[in-house]
Chains A and B, each alone.
Chain A
Amino acid sequence: MDWLVLSDEEWVAVRLSVKVAAVAMLCSLPLGILVAYILARGRFWGKSILNGIVHLPLILPPVVTGFLLLVTFGRRGAVGAFLYDWFGISFSFRWTGAALACAIMGFPLMVRSIRLSMEAIDQKLEEAASTLGAGPLWIFLSVTLPLALPGIVAGMILSFAKAMGEFGATITFVSNIPGETQTLASAIYTFTQIPGGDAGAMRLTLVAVAISFAALLGSEAVGRILSRDGRAS
């Protein structure tokens, strides 16, 4: 069973993957909730354009998304140069770049899930809250957000899972540098490119399956707890 033991480099890739996916999920969450709320409730010109932009990463080939990120957020890209000059933040060939790519790829899934749960909330409850003296922000925090929680949790899991499996955009944007940008997916890809790498690819595949499965079970457990909370009605 020795072939099942992960090498140090492989562990690095696993840990990096989890870190990248978690950071991608958590950092995109506030924006995801905001955009979902705007799409669920807003009535403005250009709403379908915003919706289209959010969904673009789902439809575009990942390589294209990665290339666009490289052009915009690379050291010489418009946004990338600005961020580097003013804040010293660099995305290219860094794990932060991998997180950015994963966040963007998972964003449509996250927004969609949160948006659906927000659209399902009875707006009459928000109206009732306003007659009880609650202003818009407090209504959002005390009524909308808690009622959308199942969708938010589902969106977080989807975004995390997408980030764990993201390959095309990441490798295009930040390449495949062991210890810095080599995630689980790109490590598996590397194994398949070298003779005799099948065992390593299989080890990492099992890890990927285990993590994905744990995330799925975790989301179901959270869903059960939330529905037990008397939210059944």
Chain B
Amino acid sequence: MTLIVEARHRFGVFQLNAAFSAEGGVTALFGRSGSGKTSLLRIIAGLARPDEGKVLFNDQVLLDTAAGAFVKPHRRRFGYVFQEARLFPHLSVRSNLLYGRRSAAAPPLAADFDRVVQMLGISQLLGRAPGVLSGGEQQRVAIGRALLSAPRLLLMDEPLAALDEERKAEILPYLERLREDAGVPIVYVSHSVAEVARLADQVVLLKDGEVASIGDPSRILSGHSISTFDRREAGSVLSGLVEDLDSEPGLVRIRLKEGHLLIPAHGLSSGKSVRVHVPERDVIIAVSEPKGLSALNVLAGSITSLEQDNDTVVITVNCGGDEIFARVTSFSAVRLGLSLGQKVYAVIKSVALER
């Protein structure tokens, strides 16, 4: 799968001028609200037309303003999951799920229907009206409805944004399963570092309507391009392989480049490659190896940068090739006498890494 998108569009004072390409897997369009993520997604779907631009999918021209080419949304066969579920209120859950079947190129088999229903855990809801479902249930049905239209590409516009934390936690595992099982490429719009860290294979960072950078999630999400817009979510993203702990079933070990992290297991199975988002405000810095702590993760490393940010300092600790960020108050930094190249220990509670 290759998706190539180029768009220039002016909405009042806001100007969108972005281009990127994606190859299979999950591509996250990431940026703060108003950075043009949703507009780009709507352009890919054909729900909006830019002033100038191109959309190509596997060499098929879907939009080319220069040549006057435009393929209507219903002919693109791209599934779209909106922020709100947008279920049809006059149809039952089952009829909603089957709505796209009529126009799918290869109608999904009964087995596909059962598989999707099972994967999303919505089998008890089939006979109900959408109005009586909870937000999380509605969103799961919306995802199933998009999948059962047998899309060539799945577009997801902050499918979790309208939900509370509990519902998010309920749906995220389904999205992960979707990434692994469904085999449909996904373009995922989000402003949540945690979501993107978990799901994306490639990140397109948007800023004020332009592409600020494109690349691997660990690289894009860890840096300070992110920290400037949501300080609470800023941090590092570490990738590693899951290893089981025979002695402790509630925990798993994530093998990093050197050293490891212990995090709550929550269905993670051995051998899987995962990314862990370590928020910088949850990292403690110690100058000597700490003893008698409840925190399970103590990583030794050396300070590679100290950045002043108002009353706080962001410290970068290189732990055998993995960079961990810690945000501490200026007061602490001075009190500990932190300096470049110093040997320190980064301390992270396992519970803070709960996925």
Residue positions of A touching B, CB distance < 8 A? 122, 124-125, 127-135, 138, 142-143, 146-147, 149, 229-233
Known contacts A124-B84, A230-B131, A233-B131; A130/B73 CB under 8 A: yes
Interchain CB contact under 8 A, A128 and B86: yes
Q: How far is the CA of A149 from the CA of B90 in the complex (A)?
A: 10
- Other A-B contacts than A124-B82, A133-B104, 6 sampled, CB-CB below 8 A, are A124-B84, A132-B99, A133-B75, A133-B149, A135-B72, A231-B90
Q: How far is the CA of A233 from the CA of B130 in the complex (A)?
A: 8
User: Which has the most chain B C-beta neighbours within 10 Å: A146, A149, A233?
Assistant: A233
Interchain CB contact under 8 A, A131 and B129: no
Q: Give every chain A residue within 8 A of B102 (Cβ-Cβ).
A: 133-134, 138
| Closest B residue by C-beta to A230 | B129
Interchain CB contact under 8 A, A131 and B131: no
Label chain A's interface by main secondary structure. helix
Interchain CB contact under 8 A, B131 and A232: yes
Q: Give every chain A residue within 8 A of B149 (Cβ-Cβ).
A: 131-133
| Closest B residue by C-beta to A142 | B99
B41 to chain A, nearest CB (A): 11
Q: How far is the CA of A127 from the CA of B88 in the complex (A)?
A: 11
Residue positions of B touching A, CB distance < 8 A? 45, 47, 72-75, 77-80, 82, 84, 86, 88-90, 92, 99-100, 102-104, 128-132, 145-146, 149, 155
Q: How far is the CA of A156 from the CA of B97 in the complex (A)?
A: 32
Q: Give every chain A residue within 8 A of B47 (Cβ-Cβ).
A: 127, 130-131
Q: How far is the CA of A128 from the CA of B82 in the complex (A)?
A: 8
Q: Give every chain B residue within 8 A of A127 (Cβ-Cβ).
A: 47, 73, 86
Interchain CB contact under 8 A, A134 and B131: no
Q: How far is the CA of A230 from the CA of B92 in the complex (A)?
A: 9
Known contacts A230-B131, A233-B131; A130/B90 CB under 8 A: no
Known contacts A230-B131, A233-B131; A134/B99 CB under 8 A: yes
B177 to chain A, nearest CB (A): 22
Q: Give every chain A residue within 8 A of B74 (Cβ-Cβ).
A: 130-135
Q: Give every chain B residue within 8 A of A229 (Cβ-Cβ).
A: 90, 129
| Closest A residue by C-beta to B85 | A128
Interchain CB contact under 8 A, A230 and B79: no
Interchain CB contact under 8 A, B99 and A125: no
Q: Give every chain B residue within 8 A of A231 (Cβ-Cβ).
A: 89-90, 131
Interchain CB contact under 8 A, A133 and B90: no
Q: Give every chain A residue within 8 A of B73 (Cβ-Cβ).
A: 127, 130-131
Q: How far is the CA of A147 from the CA of B84 in the complex (A)?
A: 18
| Closest A residue by C-beta to B142 | A128
Listed from nearest, the 4 A-B pairs whose CB atoms lie closest are A230-B129, A133-B103, A233-B131, A132-B100
A60 to chain B, nearest CB (A): 38
Q: How far is the CA of A135 from the CA of B88 in the complex (A)?
A: 16
A144 to chain B, nearest CB (A): 11
User: Which has the most chain B C-beta neighbours within 10 Å: A130, A142, A146?
Assistant: A130
Known contacts A130-B47, A132-B100, A134-B74; A143/B88 CB under 8 A: yes
Interchain CB contact under 8 A, B89 and A147: yes
Q: How far is the CA of A233 from the CA of B104 in the complex (A)?
A: 28
Interchain CB contact under 8 A, A146 and B90: yes
Q: How far is the CA of A158 from the CA of B92 in the complex (A)?
A: 30
| Closest A residue by C-beta to B131 | A233
Q: How far is the CA of A125 from the CA of B79 in the complex (A)?
A: 14
B105 to chain A, nearest CB (A): 9
A233 to chain B, nearest CB (A): 3
Known contacts A132-B145, A133-B77; A233/B89 CB under 8 A: yes
Q: Give every chain B residue within 8 A of A125 (Cβ-Cβ).
A: 86, 88-89
A185 to chain B, nearest CB (A): 38
Q: Give every chain B residue within 8 A of A233 (Cβ-Cβ).
A: 89, 129-131
7 A-B interface contacts by CB (under 8 A)? A124-B84, A127-B86, A131-B79, A132-B79, A132-B99, A133-B75, A133-B104
Interchain CB contact under 8 A, B103 and A134: yes
User: Which has the most chain B C-beta neighbours within 10 Å: A122, A124, A132?
Assistant: A132
B96 to chain A, nearest CB (A): 10
| Closest B residue by C-beta to A145 | B90
Interchain CB contact under 8 A, B100 and A133: yes
B94 to chain A, nearest CB (A): 13
Q: Give every chain B residue within 8 A of A129 (Cβ-Cβ).
A: 88, 99
Q: How far is the CA of A74 from the CA of B330 in the complex (A)?
A: 94
Known contacts A131-B78, A132-B99, A133-B77; A124/B131 CB under 8 A: no
